[in-house]
Amino acid sequence: MTDVAPSSAGHPPVDARAIAALIPHRFPMLLVDRVEDIVLGVSARGIKAVSGNEPFFAGHFPGRPIMPGVLIVEALAQTAGVLAILSMDLKDSGKLVYFMAIEEAKFRAPVEPGCLLHLEVEFVQRRATVCKFAGRATVDGKVAAEARFTAMIADPPA
């Protein structure tokens, strides 16, 4: 059950350049390529094209490259960060979205090079400075990972 009032206001898709204008992450930590199907105040879907050239594959694992689960959760959080910034009208405010908690994380299937990772997030609860989200990452319609997480909206460090 959600504490978020639904909105019928959609938002156009957000490409990589626009994502970089909304959140501070950059390569190699920018883990979402596009955010689409955005319903402000409710949900969004992100996409991450998982390339064999990702730097983490060199060590996770040699001979059997698998995207680390924590990075899948980070990709979900970045998608949620874009949703929060747009929904709360924080673009150009200088505010950042910081992880506070990760709960109920489950990893169901490996994510390998060549996969198209679909990142689905929705608000579970939204307050002035704290938001809770539910997220699910899928590949070819199969759940790869899911988690609930909390984020705080705050000013960047001085």
Residue 46 near residue 138, CB atoms below 8 Å: no
Give the integer Cα–Cα distance in Å for 140 and 119. 12
**One-letter-per-residue 3-state SS of the chain:** CCCCCCCCCEECCECHHHHHHHCCCCCCCCCCCEEEEEECCCEEEEEEECCCCCHHHHCCCCCCCCCCHHHHHHHHHHHHHHHHHHHCCCCCCCCEEEEEEEEEEEECCCCCCCCEEEEEEEEEEECCCEEEEEEEEEECCEEEEEEEEEEEEECCCC
Active site residue 118: no
Which sequence positions are flagged as catalytic? Answer: 60
